[in-house]
A = this chain, B = another copy of it.
Amino acid sequence: MNDQIKLDFQRPERLGLDEAILCARKSDAQLATIMNRVLEHGVRCLMTRLDPEVFARMARTHRERLDYDPVSRTAYLNWIPAAELEPPRIAVVSAGSSDMPQAAEVMRTLTYLGASTKQFIDIGVAGLWRLMERVEELRTFPVIVAVAGMDGALPSVLGGLIPGVIICLPTSTGYGVSNGGETALHAALASCAPGLTVVNIDNGYGAACAAFRAVNIIRRAVEEIL
């Protein structure tokens, strides 16, 4: 079935974004085929939802080509770090250790795309003073990714304090009526803070792409001027 898979190698040109391979629910054979295809084309590729056990089962020749991170479950194939980075324009804000994997997926995707970020992980609504201490710094970022599970109150609080683009990433953290992230998703969508935007539950890759689209419109505007 090797010849049936056709990757969208033109996407970077069209969108400024690379195609990512969502590894969940793909068989080992399918992943091997995709990696071979990418290697043949000599392009780079981002893999998401790559579980440590799946990574461990890969052929050594494949594993050696990957820059793998088990917390975010992401891998870079054929990736070369950018020589120089702009100062970070994207803040990734989360409440603590439960949302770490999703926040890490955001940051790893942005690093892959070449955007530098700054992480704020002690920003929880239940301990409001920690958030208040960082507000002034957060207001300087043009783009904020707010990672929040359970009751999803963080985006509403940020949305009333921060003027930049705010992208809410609800997470499946929690139990009972958290409903696998649905409550955090709905709370972000129903927020009375004006102008929040939201991505799918646990979609760290998508939140990163949305943030990257936002910094890209700055870059394009600035380039037009200079």
Chain A residues within CB distance 8 Å of chain B: 1, 4-6, 8, 10-11, 14-17, 19-20, 22, 24-26, 30, 34, 71, 95-98, 100, 119, 121-122, 124-128, 130, 132, 142-143, 150-153, 156-157, 159-167, 172-203, 205-206, 208-210, 212-214, 216-218, 220-222, 225-226
A166/B213 in contact, CB under 8 A: yes
A37 CB, nearest partner CB in chain B, Å: 10
Q: Which of A97, A157, A190 has the most CB of B within 10 A?
A: A190
Residues of B within 8 A of A8 (CB): 124, 126-127, 130
* A199–B178 CA distance with the chains assembled, in angstroms: 12
* A161–B143 CA distance with the chains assembled, in angstroms: 23
Which among B30, B157, B202, B210 is the interface contact of A195 at CB below 8 angstroms?
A: B210
6 A-B contacts (beta carbon < 8 Å): A6-B96, A15-B163, A15-B195, A153-B153, A172-B176, A195-B208
- Take A163-B14, A178-B190 as given contacts and tell me if A198 and B195 are in contact as well, using a CB distance cutoff of 8 Å: no
B218/A196 in contact, CB under 8 A: no
Which among B4, B6, B151, B214 is the interface contact of A165 at CB below 8 angstroms?
A: B214
* A80–B186 CA distance with the chains assembled, in angstroms: 35
* A208–B213 CA distance with the chains assembled, in angstroms: 17
A142/B100 in contact, CB under 8 A: no
A104 CB, nearest partner CB in chain B, Å: 9
Residues of B within 8 A of A160 (CB): 11, 14-15, 124-128
- Take A198-B197, A217-B165 as given contacts and tell me if A181 and B190 are in contact as well, using a CB distance cutoff of 8 Å: no
Question: Closest 7 interchain pairs by CB?
Answer: A195-B209, A176-B201, A197-B197, A126-B160, A153-B153, A142-B217, A6-B122
Which among B153, B216, B218 is the interface contact of A191 at CB below 8 angstroms?
A: B153
B214/A205 in contact, CB under 8 A: no
- In the complex, what residue of chain B is closest to A152 when comparing beta carbons? B187
B143/A153 in contact, CB under 8 A: no
* A205–B176 CA distance with the chains assembled, in angstroms: 13
Which among B97, B128, B164 is the interface contact of A161 at CB below 8 angstroms?
A: B128
